[in-house]
Amino acid sequence: MNVKTSYLAGDWKEYTLTNDQGMMVRVLNFGGIIREIQVPDRNGRLENVVLGYRDAADYKEDTNYFGALIGRVAGRIAGASFTLDGREYQLDANDDSNHLHGGAGGFHQVLWEVEPFETDETVGLKLFHESPDGTGGYPGNLLVTVTYTLNHANQLTLDYQAKSDRTTVFTLTNHSHFNLSGDLKSTVHQHQVVIDSSRFAELDEELIPTGRMLDADGTTFDFRQDRKLGDGFGGQTPQHRVAGGGYDHYFLFDWEKVKQVVVSDPVSGRKMEVETDQPGMVMYTDNQVGDDLELTEGMSRKHLGMCFETQGSPASLQHDGFPSVVLPAGELYEKQTVFTFSAE
C-alpha cells in the first residue's frame, strides 16, 4: 500500500493510491476529482474504468463533472431557489433557469485541503473544505470532510461528513463516470446493471422531477434483475426522450438487496458493486456527452460512461415523498458509499 503526491500547475496536486493487488486510484485536490481507477479484468489486465481528461487543465472548464465531488447540493434545484424556515434563498442559475450541482462555484471547482494516510490495511486521503455562509446563496458556515479509502480487497470507500452552524440544505456525491470495458474500449450499451429499486422519479423537459414517483415494473427502468443499459438508449419512451436518449433519473432504493447496485461488463469480466446508506441515487448514462473531448484513452462520445450518484433528492425542496436534503444546524451529516471491484 502506498500513496504518492505529484505537483501539477499552480496549486494543483495529484495523489496516487495503490494497493497490494495493483489497483490504483488517482485523485486531484482540485474538485476532489477521481481522475483514474485502474482495476484488473478477468485475465488480470489492469485498465482504467473511469472517464478523465488527458490534460488536467481541462477540468477547470468541465461541464460534465468527470470524477468530481458535487455540492453543496447534488442534482437540480428547480428555479434556482428554495424556501427554508419561511425564508427564500436564491441560488446560481447555471442550468438554464435552474441550479445544478452546487452552481458554477460548487465543490467541483474548489481546491480541497488534502491529508494522505497509510495503514497496514488501507491507503487514502482526507479532503477538507470550509464553505462560508452565503456561498452560492446557501445559508450556513459549512465544514466538509471527505475520505477516500482504498483497501486490499479492491474496495474504494467514500465517507462524507459535514456540519453547518445554520440549518441549510446539503447532499454530497461523487460524479465519476464508469466504464468497465477498460480504457474506454466500448460504450456502456452492453453493461449489465442490477439496481435495488422499483420506483424512479418522473422528469419534465428540463430534467426537473415532476413530483411523481413512477413504478418501474415492466419498463426499461426496472433493474431489479440484470438488464442491459442499452435497453433504455434511443429515446423510445417519453422519459428516455427527455433524458436525451438514456437515463438521468433518481432511483429510490427498496432495501431488499445487500448491494444497492451491481454492474458487470460481460466482455472484460469486470464487476462493480455499490453499497451505500444514501436513500437513492441518480443514474446518468452520458446522454449529453459530445464527441469533442480529449480523454485519457481517446475521444469522448455519447453513452461512453455511467454515473451512480448516491444522494438525497433536491426534489424534496418542492415535493413531498422524496428523501430530504435539509441539514439542521449543528447536526452531523454522515454518509458512506463503497465501490467494490472484482472480475469473473
Query: Confidence band (pLDDT; 50, 70, 90) for 3?
Result: confident
pLDDT for the residue numbered 2: 86
Query: Confidence band (pLDDT; 50, 70, 90) for 173?
Result: very high
Q: What is the second-level CATH architecture of the domain 2-343?
A: Distorted Sandwich (2.70)
Residues involved in catalysis:
175, 309
8 A C-beta contact, residue 162 and residue 327: yes
CA distance 175 to 74: 9
Cis peptide bond upstream of 72, omega within 30: yes
Q: Which positions ≥6 away from 188 have C-beta within 8 Å?
A: 178, 179, 180, 181, 229, 230, 285, 286, 303, 304, 305, 306
CA distance 253 to 257: 9
| 3-class secondary structure, 190 | coil
pLDDT for the residue numbered 9: 81
State the average pLDDT over residues 210-238: 94
pLDDT for the residue numbered 4: 86
Q: Enter the C-alpha cell of residue 188.
A: 456502456
The angle at the Cα of 38, spanning 13 to 23, to the nearest 5 degrees, equals: 95
pLDDT for the residue numbered 130: 98
State the average pLDDT over residues 164-183: 98
Q: Where are the domains of the chain?
A: 2-343
Phi, psi (deg, nearest 5) at residue 231: -60, -30
CA distances for 166 relative to 105, 129, 144, angstroms: 20, 17, 14
Closest CA to 85 of 139, 161, 142, 134: 139
8 A C-beta contact, residue 75 and residue 313: yes
pLDDT for the residue numbered 187: 98
Q: Which positions ≥6 away from 256 have C-beta within 8 Å?
A: 196
CA distance 7 to 318: 44
pLDDT above 80: residue 235: no
pLDDT for the residue numbered 91: 97
8 A C-beta contact, residue 12 and residue 24: no
Q: What's the whole-number average pLDDT of the chain?
A: 97
CA distance 213 to 317: 15
pLDDT for the residue numbered 1: 81
Q: Encode pLDDT of 316-343 as tens digits.
A: 999 999 999 999 999 999 999 999 999 9
pLDDT above 80: residue 34: yes
pLDDT for the residue numbered 275: 98
